[in-house]
Structure 1
Amino acid sequence: MKTVVPASAAHDERVTARIGLWLAVSFGLCFVTGLISHLIQHPPSWFLWPSRPVWLYRVTQGVHVISGIASIPLLLGKLWSVYPKLFERPLIRSLAHALERVSILVLSASAFFELVTGLFNVAQNYPWNFYFPEVHYAVAWVAIGSILVHIAVKLPIVRRALGSDREQKSAAGISRRRLLRTTFLASGAAVVATAGATVPLLRNISVLSWRTGGALPVNRTAAAAGVIEDARDAGWRLEVLTAEGRSRFTLEQLTALPQTSAELPIACVEGWSQSATWTGVAMPDLLRAVGSRPGATVVVTSLEKTGLYSRSSLPGEHTADPITLLALRLNGEVLSLDHGYPCRIIAPNRPGVLQTKWVTRLEVS
């Protein structure tokens, strides 16, 4: 015999449909912008990411983190609105019903995994043994796939619920409007409290925003990278390898080349971003100085020997851009060790992890 646990208006299908719609939008934005970030860092042959506008990655990654944070209260609100169904009897009514319950379990588990681990990543806290970017990316496909299947299965109910004008109230439980209002306000408050890491106008009111101090933050220090001694070595040279041969530059020789200044943001995968004025040798000028043409792919190698991002690849769109810099100065001062002394890459519209610090070699394809 089928039994149904009585539900208040807060568990009405219209509540579930409305919260689910907003959750689908926020999670969808999070997935798409996360996919963009993954493709920039691990580009397939068909992928093209432009160097302009300079703020584009700052926006997409900011949207990624903000939409992920907004999804947490929405997911909790949606689960609250449907939890009485978990106590319906019998637990399994048919094979189709069993498959539906398994799909909901996969959806909930993968969505929670993505949002919780993403939140830990924002805080740069990794209490696990797996490689976060790889696992986070793989589970994202599981989550978005299960969401699409769930929407397809529930679409008739969603259409009916969103098209209904009936009003239902209950004195015994939380009202429908109250739950919707509470869920959306919680989601909005979470966004405002943290969005200052990405949106400068909100930094004074984002009480939980991270890395928004006056000085330009760093994710990895010279001490953590183990490069202090090599970076300070008087014998340091920048080695540039081309098809024509090998060139070596001292810091003084790099400083003697034409200098270019540009205001560019550091936009980190954790969601924070901050602009600064960088000065150094424009990559097109450096390529011409060694007999190469701007637009060639350049592989950049750091003094750091063991870091996951000790090497990066600058595609032709960036090496041809006159504000892609081998930076020597930050805000008018010589680079500090933590910011990449003796020189670092600063390219427009790139993730911070690809703005390689402590550069020692450039290989021009």
Structure 2
Amino acid sequence: MASRTPKRAGPARPAFRPPAFRGRLHDPRTATAVGRWLGAAFAVCLVTGLISHYLQQPPDWLATRLPTRPVWVYAFTQGLHVATGLAAIVLLLVKLWAVYPRLFVWPPVTSPRHALERLSVALLVASAVFEVLTGLLNIVEWYPWPFGFVQTHFAVAWVVTGSLLLHVAVKAPEIGAHWSRRSAGTLTLPAEDAVDRRSLLLGTGVAVGVVTLTTVGQAFTPLKAFDLLAPRHPDHGPQGLPVNRTAAAAGVTVPALRDWRLEVTGPRPYVLTLDALRGLPQVAARLPIACVEGWSVDADWGGVRVRDLVERAGGRPGRDAVRVTSLETNGAYRVMEMGARYAEDPLTLLALALNGQPLTLDHGFPARIIAPGRPGVLQTKWVHRLEVL
């Protein structure tokens, strides 16, 4: 019987070898050091973001309790929110650089605790990147997505917070071991790493400082000379004030204003022409206009107190809220309501003038709302109707 020639064995398949990372700073100490700054930035963003959200969209029980003082509260908190969010982008990039080799750990899951850790990291990274990216695009007013920014940004903020707390809980032993230079976990690290790590952290701090210095001038006007990277400059715009939403974007035209009247409804409704409105007692107030995109400017406003208009219509200042309707043909804030505290505040005006001149069309001619401590989207322009509720 003929013998069979044995088949030659093919070349052996090489065993999988995960990538090797030899950079000395991809270590827990570096990740922990940057993580402390990033965690603080996220905490500030969460608190200031909640203030912004509930000033814009207060629940019914809160709408009548919102304070009107200090007048700069929204300008400060939203400016801080945007400035901290921009700094968080730098910190997040450095943090991801320090830990990305862990994506290639093999085997990918070794225990239930390890699986929970990796799940928390995946959720944290995805939600954090989404949050800072959408926030960045919002301040330049570019929305290349089909969902509403405000509601989604608010919801994902809670996802970031929850996944961050879960991550900290899972990694608490390792974080504690590398929290400071004197921690037990850092004693085993090579001494020469300390110099490189300090250089990395110093460079990160300088990058954060540069980003802050070149953007915060849009809200903190003493630094406006350095406002090189922010999408708004506090002095650029008609009447020395930036404009987010123009009359053209809102569908408001000069012909539509020829027969303009202010309609005030209440127990004693009435209608006023622009000349009649200018004939009422005028009040001057210096108030900031502050927008969700992070810019704010103090300006001199002139007009009629809303409380005087409410009282003339038979309303009760301090007890009745007011609904304001704009002439704009579209927009999420075409109709705005203000609680009784805002309506009765002597600084809440139906403004007719800005910096000593009649309002331009883009700033809300013939009349707009200006109130202390309110987001810019609620300082309704092109007002034609006030309803005493």
Report the equivalent of 2:9. Answer: none
Q: Could you tell me how far apart the structure 1 residues matched to 2:211 and 2:384 are? A: 42
Q: Per-residue deviation at 1:237?
A: 1.1
Amino acid at match of 1:95: P
Map 1:1-365; keep pairs closer than 5 Å. Answer: 5=20, 7-47=22-62, 48-165=65-182, 166=186, 168-169=189-190, 175-212=196-233, 213-214=235-236, 215-229=240-254, 231-233=256-258, 235-242=259-266, 244-295=267-318, 296-365=320-389
- Given the superposition, is the C-alpha separation of residues 24 and 63 from structure 1 closer, same or farther in structure 2, using an over 3 Å criterion? same
Amino acid at match of 2:231: W
Q: Per-residue deviation at 1:64?
A: 0.7
Bigger Rg, structure 1 or 2 = 2
Q: Per-residue deviation at 1:203?
A: 1.0
Amino acid at match of 1:203: K
Instruction: For residue 69 of structure 2, give the secondary structure of its aligned residue in structure 1.
Output: coil
Q: Could you tell me how far apart the structure 2 residues matched to 1:50 and 1:254 are? A: 28
C-alpha contact 1:54 1:264 (8 A) present in aligned 2: yes
C-alpha contact 2:264 2:309 (8 A) present in aligned 1: no
Q: Could you tell me how far apart the structure 2 residues matched to 1:204 and 1:102 are? A: 45
- Given the superposition, is the C-alpha separation of residues 81 and 335 from structure 1 closer, same or farther in structure 2, using an over 3 Å criterion? same
Deviations, residues 44-64 of structure 1 (Å, cap 9, x unaligned): 133232111111100000011
C-alpha contact 1:4 1:89 (8 A) present in aligned 2: no
- Given the superposition, is the C-alpha separation of residues 305 and 281 from structure 1 closer, same or farther in structure 2, using an over 3 Å criterion? same
Amino acid at match of 1:247: Y
Which segment is superposed worse, 125-134 or 255-264?
A: 125-134
- May I ask how many residue pairs the two structures share in their alignment? 363
Aligned-residue Cα RMSD (Å) equals 2.1
C-alpha contact 1:8 1:170 (8 A) present in aligned 2: no
Q: Could you tell me how far apart the structure 1 residues matched to 2:252 and 2:93 are? A: 45
Q: Per-residue deviation at 1:163?
A: 4.0
Q: Per-residue deviation at 1:21?
A: 0.9
Amino acid at match of 1:266: I
Q: Could you tell me how far apart the structure 2 residues matched to 1:221 and 1:328 are? A: 17
C-alpha contact 1:231 1:358 (8 A) present in aligned 2: no
Tell me the TM-score normalized by structure 1: 0.94
Amino acid at match of 1:250: T
